[in-house]
Amino acid sequence: MNQRYVVITPARDEERTIELTVRSMLAQTIAPLRWVVVDDGSTDRTRELLERHRSAAPWIDVVPRRNRGFRALGGGVVDAFNEGFERVRPLPWEFVVKLDADLSFEPRYFENLLRRFDADPKLGMASGKTFLVNDGVRQIEWCPDEHVRGPAKMYRRACFEAIGGLEARRGWDMIDETRAQMLGWTTRSFIDEPLIHHRPIDGRQANVLKSRFEMGELYHFLGYHWLYLLVRSARSALQDYPRVTGGTALLLGYLRAALRGAPRYDADYVAWVRKQQLSRFTLRHLRGYLEATSRREAA
């Protein structure tokens, strides 16, 4: 089994959660060749907390960036990732991980993912599924099994190079996945490899409703089928933060973009996305969603 992997973490103002991620990384049964944390202009104690742990693991590398004055979605995250990637590019890695600084996970997390890659040569991108913990109860942030969410993405080197790396724009974590699928790679998130997400999706945004509205516009740009978008908005209203209003804002953003005749990403890309989305309208997918979201486990 190939065990050579590197991890890159864009981080900004993560003092409340970064040590949870650090402890998870230090406990891994298979350590990375390098873990590069790109401090993207933090104004809190993020960098100070990271520096405390560098002596415990020589494979931790902290890269400071200047403070732009705000948290940049999409393109800003990828820019920080790419700066970290330059630090590991010369290393003999076979897998690269984009990892957020608000996650915790079990000591065998990366070992288990490496075993899954070893068992399936066509697996190009993978992660565990993310869970929130409320009042001591763990609940999934549901997504289809073929979707690998942005907080934690592990790429096989051949897949990462085939898709040309990450595109510096909002939606990068959907674009990379779809490109990989179009090239014949398998993408998977595994429910039995849990990641505890200590901040909900979009929970870090100052204006969450604005963020959800812009996400609706992004879904139009990426070619989401209108029927799938309706279901996605309803699910978001039930599942995502903030409840009800977030899903409504998502739908309104999509509708405004559609009514304005906003451009799409790429014709072939859009056709692939819509075909995949419509294929999910099956009882099997519905049953899987209901089973996953109804599960309640002690944290």
DSSP state for residue 56 in the 8-state scheme = G
pLDDT of residue 299: 67
pLDDT of residue 87: 96
Beta carbons of 292 and 191 less than 8 angstroms apart: yes
CA distance 131 to 122: 26
Neighbour-count burial of 177, counting CB atoms closer than 10 A to its CB (0-12 exposed, 13-18 middle, 19+ buried)? buried
Beta carbons of 216 and 226 less than 8 angstroms apart: no
CA distance 234 to 237: 5
Q: What's the CATH number for 5-197? A: 3.90.550.10
Residues of the chain with CATH 3.90.550.10: 5-197
pLDDT of residue 72: 59
pLDDT of residue 180: 98
pLDDT of residue 206: 62
- Can you read off the two tokens belonging to residue 233? 């908005």
Mean pLDDT per 10-residue run, the chain (299 residues)? 96 93 97 96 90 88 77 78 96 98 97 98 97 88 91 97 95 96 98 91 68 94 96 86 86 97 95 95 84 75
